[in-house]
Amino acid sequence: MLHTVLAFIPLLFLIIYALKSRKMADAMVLSTLLAMVLVHRERFITGTIEAMYATLSSSSYQFALCVIISFGGMIALFQASGGLMGFRDLLAKVASTPRRTLLLAWLLSVVMFVDEYLNALTVTISLRGVSDRNRIPREHLAVQTNIMACCLCVTVPFTSWTAFSVGLISDFGLGFDDYLRAVPFMFYPLAMILLSLLLALGAFPKVGGLKQAYRRVASGGAPFEQSGSAEKLVDIADVDEDNVSSAWNAIIPLAALVGGTVLFDNDLLHGIIIALVVQFLLYVLRRRMTVGEYFSHFFAGAKGMVSIAIVVGFGLMLSDANRALGLFDILINGIGSAVPAYLIAPLAFLLVALTVFAVGGCWAVMTIAIPVFIPMGLAAGVAAPLMIAAVMSGVTLGYSLCFYADAVLMTTAGSGVSNLTIIRATTPYALAVGTLSAAALLVAGL
């Protein structure tokens, strides 16, 4: 019993401290150090150093760090070239009303399906100015983008998530065709994608934080309000509204980013490097800036992403510590062998969601959840596509509600809206759709 209680202490501390202080970086560092004490005890200092080294040497953090820093530099270059304002003005011709703006953001998310980082950053950065001009609460753009980034990576069968999942299910004689057959049963992500569209079109009511944001704007408030006490995880200079150049200065590098990512087997880092090379050639050769100015802007943007890179690193450390404390086992093994077959899929959905929310890591959870739930479902006679759908839907639900998950931090970086604000506004919709999805999985299991 004591072991179970200890396993939940760092997570509970993180949630309570973050909600009370609104300081995500402080909360993440303190909860990680608390977890280090519980895991390593008298070896606390040595264990913490070893955990730092392990995180720095992990391919997941290396990838995230390279993407975060590079995107910071790329954003600063977009701003300095004037291409970002030119692209905004071009989009503004299409996005002339709030409804058109949100619909364009929804469609742009669909185009950027290949990676959740790419989706979250590109859509918010491209459209936040247009959104503000049309007096759309910045919270709506952030919530919609975060939902789409989380949901498309599992429902579109040509992403790195799909490839990773197919590799895991192949150990049980299943393959890509089984994943494809599972997509129609991914009720949660499919419903959230549809819900995002309906909210964009104004065909679904605003509730909770989103409703409050619209009330603020309707009463004359600003589309984007950042409290003076709010934490700023990203520190990139504000856009110079007067620095406007051709929209092609943004379109061409963005096309190179997406094309390079797809060309190199959906590897976002390849796309980023290609885009940075294109930016260099485009801006320097056309004398928008000198070589020295190019690197000065790049490093200024990269420096502004340091805080969020540190938060992501401590988040991975906390995830590993939670695993060492046994939190994974407590949550994942919550289904006993006596559970009826028709309950396995909905319970797997809920437990996986809870686990992802608790640990903030998706791929690590998939490596544990799939080997547990897929054979459990198959042994009980549950159809393989339904079990795959249950696990992947659970991953999406937990990911879209975890306030220190990568996707929401990337959305924060692009939109400027705090991660806690995004999650508060998302929660009413996610919980309602999650409940209906669990019921749908129950019916499908019957």
Dump the DSSP string for 373-404: HHHHHHHTT--HHHHHHHHHHHHHHHHHH-TT
Q: Are 78 and 250 in contact (CB under 8 A)?
A: yes
Tokens 């596509």 found at: 385
Q: What residues contact 112, with CB distance under 8 A and at least 6 apart?
A: 118, 119, 122, 123, 258
**Quick check: 133 pLDDT over 80?**
yes
Measured between alpha carbons, how far is 215 from 198 in angstroms, rounded to an integer?
A: 19
Identify the pLDDT of residue 371.
Answer: 79
- The two tokens of residue 254 are 């963005």
Measured between alpha carbons, how far is 62 from 413 in angstroms, rounded to an integer?
A: 18
Measured between alpha carbons, how far is 79 from 125 in angstroms, rounded to an integer?
A: 10
Reported confidence tier of residue 265, pLDDT bands at 50, 70, 90: confident
Find the radius of gyration of the CA atoms of the chain: 22
**Helices 116-133, 83-94: inter-axial angle, 10-degree rounding:** 70
Asked which of 53-62, 212-221, 291-300 is least confident by mean pLDDT, the reply is 53-62
Identify the pLDDT of residue 234.
Answer: 65
Which of 111-115, 128-132, 186-190, 244-248 tops mean pLDDT? 186-190
**Quick check: 70 pLDDT over 80?**
yes
Task: Report helix, strand or coil for 222.
Answer: coil
End-to-end CA distance of the chain, in Å? 35
For residues 375 and 333, the model is more confident at 375
Measured between alpha carbons, how far is 67 from 118 in angstroms, rounded to an integer?
A: 9
Which of 126-130, 416-420, 427-431 tops mean pLDDT? 427-431
Identify the pLDDT of residue 333.
Answer: 66
Q: What is the mean predicted confidence (pLDDT) over 102-119?
A: 83
Reported confidence tier of residue 422, pLDDT bands at 50, 70, 90: very high
**Quick check: 195 pLDDT over 90?**
yes
**Quick check: 229 pLDDT over 60?**
no
**Quick check: 6 pLDDT over 90?**
no
Q: What residues contact 203, with CB distance under 8 A and at least 6 apart?
A: none
Phi, psi of 360 (to 5 degrees): 70, 10
Reported confidence tier of residue 26, pLDDT bands at 50, 70, 90: confident
**Quick check: 240 pLDDT over 70?**
no
Report residue 191 CA to chain centroid gap. 18
**Quick check: 134 pLDDT over 80?**
yes
Identify the pLDDT of residue 328.
Answer: 66
Measured between alpha carbons, how far is 187 from 189 in angstroms, rounded to an integer?
A: 6
Rama region for 82: left / alpha / beta (φ>0; ψ in -120 to 50; rest):
left
Identify the pLDDT of residue 205.
Answer: 94
Measured between alpha carbons, how far is 9 from 405 in angstroms, rounded to an integer?
A: 19
Neighbours of 198 (CB within 10 A): 11
Identify the pLDDT of residue 426.
Answer: 95
Reported confidence tier of residue 432, pLDDT bands at 50, 70, 90: very high
Q: What residues contact 439, with CB distance under 8 A and at least 6 apart?
A: 346
Neighbours of 358 (CB within 10 A): 25
Identify the pLDDT of residue 394.
Answer: 93
- The two tokens of residue 341 are 């077959």
Single-letter amino acid code for the residue at 428: P
Measured between alpha carbons, how far is 72 from 312 in angstroms, rounded to an integer?
A: 15
For residues 243 and 260, the model is more confident at 260
Residue 391: exposed, middle, or buried by beta-carbon count in 10 A (0-12, 13-18, 19+)? buried
Q: How far is CA 107 from CA 8, 123, 193, in A?
A: 39, 10, 11
Measured between alpha carbons, how far is 359 from 365 in angstroms, rounded to an integer?
A: 8
Q: What is the mean predicted confidence (pLDDT) over 89-108?
A: 87
Identify the pLDDT of residue 255.
Answer: 87
Q: Are 259 and 104 in contact (CB under 8 A)?
A: no
Measured between alpha carbons, how far is 349 from 355 in angstroms, rounded to an integer?
A: 10
Mean pLDDT of the chain: 85
Q: For residue 81, which of 234, 236, 239, 235 has the smallest C-alpha distance? A: 239
Measured between alpha carbons, how far is 16 from 219 in angstroms, rounded to an integer?
A: 31
Neighbours of 53 (CB within 10 A): 10
